[in-house]
Chain A
Amino acid sequence: MALDPSTINRFGDELYAALVDGRTIPNLRDRAPGMSIVDAYQVQARMLVHRLAAGETVVGKKIGVTSRAVQQAIGVFEPDFGILTSAMEYADGAEVPWETLIQPKAEAEIAFVLKRDLVGPGVTAADVLAATDHVRACFEIVDSRIDGWDIRIQDTVADNASCGVYVLGADKVDPRDVDLALAGMVAMRNGEVVVTGAGAAVQGSPLNAVAWLANTLGRLGTLLLAGETILSGALGPMFAIEPGDRLTMKVGGIGACSIAFSRESVHA
């Protein structure tokens, strides 16, 4: 049974308050056992209403749960998506104040920037290639407003697909100039290799993930717009980060990017 609108609004309000206060709340699925994924996207939309009211603007989408390993871990067979807002983007190499994050982890990805709208359903990988202006290396710093990352699909979808902040690399590459399924990724944490991966980890190819998103949005009556940035999904395992860390990564044939985190403030 679908959730009633008041519960949806309450969950969205709670998640936004948790985001602003930098704290977590108990998972939603145990508090609303009938909660569906459709309900969860409505909670996400409610959370977004607050962000837009605070002056943020929509700049794109992120795709999550794109690897088989993560899908199995949270019990689903398709990806999910969240909304990127103007407040989430940091410049390449920037230092993110640690206290603005709650329980962050890092993922290395390929970002797509569109030059044309993508209107699903019926979008293929070829349509994604045609609509893409360029691809770039990207760190997504995922974060959860749910206690202890205790998430299933409903919880993460409601919580804007566990998106935190992101940084895009400076190099922009035409997607026709790189083998996206075999694009290799190596990520370093404080100068040591921490994870590696490749494009095929994302739905066989990051192109497929973007096509999935366009088609999923199309069924919901919305679309991907020219100029939007799409984070297509983690190329390798998500990894833990600590205050003071500096992360760098490189995607073969595309480019590098980096992000750092401040040390924890001495006054609590």
Chain B
Amino acid sequence: MLEPGAAALIAADVDHAQTHAHTMPKISDAHPGMTIDDGYDVQDALLGRWEARGRQLIGYKAGLTSRAKMAQMGVDVPSFGMLMRDTCEAEGGTLSTEGLIHPRVEAEIAFVTSADLAGPNVSPEEILAATDYVIPAIEIIDSRFEKFKFDLASVVADNGSSARFVIGGRARRAVGLDLDAVGVVLEINGEPMAFASSGAVLGHPVNVTQLLVAWLHSRGRILPAGSVVLTGAVTEAFPIKPGDAVCARFQDMGSINVRIA
């Protein structure tokens, strides 16, 4: 457990590291008793700082979305982070890595909701009915910890390594779509780096959204209509550098192209 007031101080450190693109020691080094819930308290404090500067929360991202990664970290639920409006970049354009430390790219399925989702036990069917569309996404992650080395509480406090994201390609209605085996190929500079399918995230990305809504409920919150949910990487994350061309191709959902600058 963190001591009272510590979350706000840690949030100030994380905010500084994110704003000035520098690494920081693992938070648990100075706060060895820190829990995952403490990490989410830091996220709440970060959100307070960001909203005070006019930044807007537009959704959530999930991490640790495979059973193998959860087992490695000794948990049985994914981790979640916040998506801020000013980190959403356009497809077909140039994505600047200025201000990032050691960015990596990964591909995933995004949900965009059309109705509020709330409660501890929302069903997959209710989620699909409340989904405006699903759409391809790539996420640029960047850890404020050296070499992406962290424990779960620290990475949660670092907002799940969130940095930038892009949604694009072909939006699809979620109902009636076979979302458990959508093929995904991630290419960098024309070279295929990863071959995967959407089933990589807990067998079906709706399962991640379901866990997100339950987690939000446990924090006294809901997933409001219009939220963007990044359901977790179906591929490994690959380092990117200025000059790289990234292309993520999704079965029957088009593709996303960005040039890294």
Q: Which residues of A contact B (CB under 8 A)?
A: 179, 181-186, 188, 192-193, 196-201, 204, 235-236, 250-253
B189 at the binding interface (Cβ < 8 Å): no
Which residues in A have their C-beta under 8 angstroms from that of B181? 184-186, 250-252
Of the candidates A188, A198, A201, the one whose C-beta lies within 8 Å of that of B251 is: A198
Contacts of B234 in A (CB 8 A): 196
Which chain B positions have C-beta within 8 A of A236? 195-196
- With CB as the reference atom, state the residue of chain A lying closest to B192: A200
Instruction: Find chain A residues with CB under 8 A from B250 CB.
Output: 182
> B199 contacts A193, CB within 8 Å?
yes
Structural contact, A179 and B180, CB atoms closer than 8 A: no
- What residue in chain B is nearest A237 (Cβ atoms)? B195
A184 & B249 in contact (Cβ 8 Å cutoff): no
Chain B residues contacting A188 (CB-CB under 8 Å) are 203
Instruction: Determine the distance from Cα of A197 to Cα of B234 in the docked complex, in whole angstroms.
Output: 10
CB B204 to nearest CB in A, in angstroms, measures 9
Q: A179-B251, A200-B185 are known contacts; what are 10 more A-B pairs with Cβ within 8 Å?
A: A184-B196, A184-B198, A185-B197, A186-B203, A196-B197, A197-B183, A198-B183, A198-B185, A199-B195, A236-B196
Contacts of A186 in B (CB 8 A): 180-181, 197-200, 203
Q: Are A183 and B203 in contact (CB under 8 A)?
A: no
Q: Give bound CA distance, A235 to B181, whole Å.
A: 12
Is the beta-carbon distance between A184 and B184 smaller than 8 angstroms?
yes
On chain B, the residues within 8 Å of A199 by CB distance are: 183, 195
Give every chain A residue within 8 A of B199 (Cβ-Cβ): 184, 186, 193, 196, 250
Do A198 and B197 touch (CB < 8 A)? yes
Which single residue of chain A is at the shortest CB-CB distance from B183?
A184
Knowing A182-B249, A182-B251, A186-B180 are in contact, say whether A196-B196 is a contact too (CB < 8 A).
yes
Note all chain A residues with C-beta closer than 8 A to B202.
Answer: 193
Please give, as numbers and ranges, the residues of chain B lying within 8 Å of A183 by CB-CB distance.
183, 251
Interface centre among A179, A193, A200 (most CB of B within 10 A): A193
Nearest A residue to B250, CB-CB:
A182
Nearest CB in chain B: distance from A255 CB, A: 10
Contact: B180 with A182, CB < 8 Å? no
Listed from nearest, the 3 A-B pairs whose CB atoms lie closest are A186-B199, A184-B183, A184-B197
Task: Give A199's nearest chain B residue, CB to CB.
Answer: B183
Residues of A with C-beta under 8 A to B178:
252-253
Closest beta carbon of chain B to A30's beta carbon, Å: 33
Q: Which residues of A contact B184 (CB under 8 A)?
A: 182, 184, 198
Which of B66, B182, B203 interacts with A184 by CB under 8 Å?
B182
Does A196 contact B185, Cβ atoms closer than 8 Å? no
Write the nearest CB–CB distance from A24 to chain B, whole angstroms.
30
Measured as residues with beta carbon below 8 angstroms from the partner, the interface class of chain B is 20 to 34
Q: Is the CB of B66 within 8 A of A193?
A: yes
Which residues from chain A contact B182 at a C-beta distance below 8 Å? 184, 252
Q: How far is the CA of A200 from the CA of B202 in the complex (A)?
A: 22
A179 cross-chain contacts in B, Cβ below 8 A: 183, 251-252
A-contacting residues, B219-261, CB 8 Å:
234, 249-252
Within 8 A of A (CB), among B174-220: 178, 180-185, 192, 195-200, 202-203
**B199, B249, B252 — most chain A CB neighbours (10 Å):** B199
Closest to A202 in B: B195
* B251 (CB) vs chain A CBs: closest residue: A182
Distance, CA A193 to CA B68, complexed state (A): 9
Question: Whose C-beta in chain B lies nearest to the C-beta of A186?
Answer: B199
- Does B22 touch A at the CB level, under 8 Å? no
Task: Give Cα distance in the complex from A111 to B202, angstroms.
Answer: 26
Contacts of A200 in B (CB 8 A): 183, 185, 192, 195, 249
Q: A196 CA to B236 CA in the complex, in Å?
A: 12
B residues in contact with A184, CB < 8 Å: 181-184, 196-199, 251
A115 to B66, CA, bound (A): 40
Query: Interface digits, B4-38 against A, CB 8 Å rule (1 contact, 0 not)?
Result: 00000000000000000000000000000000000
For B199, the closest partner residue in chain A by CB is: A186
25 contacts between A and B (CB under 8 A): A179-B183, A181-B185, A182-B183, A183-B251, A184-B183, A184-B184, A184-B196, A184-B197, A184-B198, A186-B180, A186-B198, A186-B200, A186-B203, A193-B199, A193-B203, A196-B197, A196-B234, A197-B196, A199-B195, A201-B195, A204-B192, A250-B181, A252-B182, A253-B178, A253-B252
CB neighbours of B170 from chain A (8 A): none
B104 adjacent to chain A (CB < 8 Å) = no
- B26 to chain A minimum Cβ distance, whole angstroms, is 30
- In the complex, A183 Cα to B185 Cα: how many Å? 10
| Interface status of B67 (Cβ within 8 A of chain A) | yes
Distance of B86 from chain A, by nearest CB (Å): 32
Which residues of the other chain, A, contact B183 by a CB distance below 8 angstroms? 179, 182-185, 197-200, 252
CB distance from B10 to the nearest CB of A (A): 34
- The docked-state distance in angstroms from the alpha carbon of A3 to that of B223 is 69
Task: Point out the residues of chain A lying under 8 angstroms from B67, CB to CB.
Answer: 192-193
